[in-house]
Amino acid sequence: MIPIKDSIPSRTYPIVNVCLIAINIVAFIFELSLGDRLDEFFRSFAVVPAKYYWAVMKGHPEWILYEPELWLPLFTSMFLHGGWLHLIGNMVYLWIFGDNVEDRMGHFRYVLFYLLCGLVASAAHILSEPTSSIPSLGASGAIAGVLGAYILLYPRSRVLVMIPIFVFLEFIEVPAFIFLGIWFLQQFVLGTLSLAETAQTGGVAWWAHIGGFVAGLATVYLFAKRDYREPEYDIFWDKFGRIYIRRRW
């Protein structure tokens, strides 16, 4: 299922969400300019779990806080991507769900929440594969936190999704908690399988997704505005893609 749009209109312009998307796109364009230097760039600015593992094994976990080559990638890795599909897939989710979460939290709190979820996601990945020397990168861990927040903040929301069926495309509307619940279940199952040495999981940092989602669930109400009132109407679509508005009662 590919999400197209949700039914909750944002009441403020999501300037932070738009900036995050823009930064990710600009960073990816910069990656394309690096050519043969890209692998070296990833090893410097993406998260390599083995670096943190050896810092701890040598008895110097404080290096993670003081050494730029250890703490800086925890932030820069959130804005790097391994290909066009990786970038587009993440940005679609961020565009659809991030604006509403920003609307509920406010711009500044949303920035802090996003970065926090990204940090927890990286920590979860490091703990799941501590000796891995493969660079981990992508916004999906932080975005997973946004999804975790969305499922609690907007339980009555609905999502228009596209389902490819052979050469046909089917559009259906599903409750957001079902769509995001299925998404998280998939991450958890594949993440559990990835812990087995023989599992073939496609090199995806599943536990970063799990960690980010759980972080979003756990911290959302620390950042959400308490005086917020949900919109009094929803946006829906018929099977032909026509938009109509329904007031809540």
Residue 20 lies in a domain: yes
- Does residue 217 belong to any structural domain of this protein? yes
User: pLDDT tens-digit profile of 26-81?
Assistant: 999 999 999 999 999 999 999 999 999 998 888 888 888 888 999 999 999 999 99
Is there a domain that residue 243 lies in?
Answer: no
91 part of a folded domain: yes
**Residue 233 domain-assigned?**
no
Domain boundaries, position 77: 2-160+176-228
Which residue is it, tokens 């911290």?
219
Six token digits for residue 33: 């300019």
pLDDT of residue 112: 98
Query: Is 166 part of a structural domain of the chain?
Result: no
CB atoms within 10 A of CB 203: 9
User: Model confidence over 75-120: pLDDT tens digits?
Assistant: 999 999 999 999 999 999 999 999 999 999 999 999 999 999 999 9
pLDDT tens by residue, 142-201: 999 999 999 999 988 999 988 888 777 888 889 999 999 999 999 999 888 887 754 444
Given pLDDT bands bounded at 50, 70 and 90, which one contains residue 246? low
We report the CATH number of the domain holding residue 89 as 1.20.1540.10
| Number of compact structural domains in the chain | 1
Confidence of residue 228 (pLDDT cuts 50, 70, 90): low
pLDDT in tens, 129-147: 999 999 999 999 999 999 9
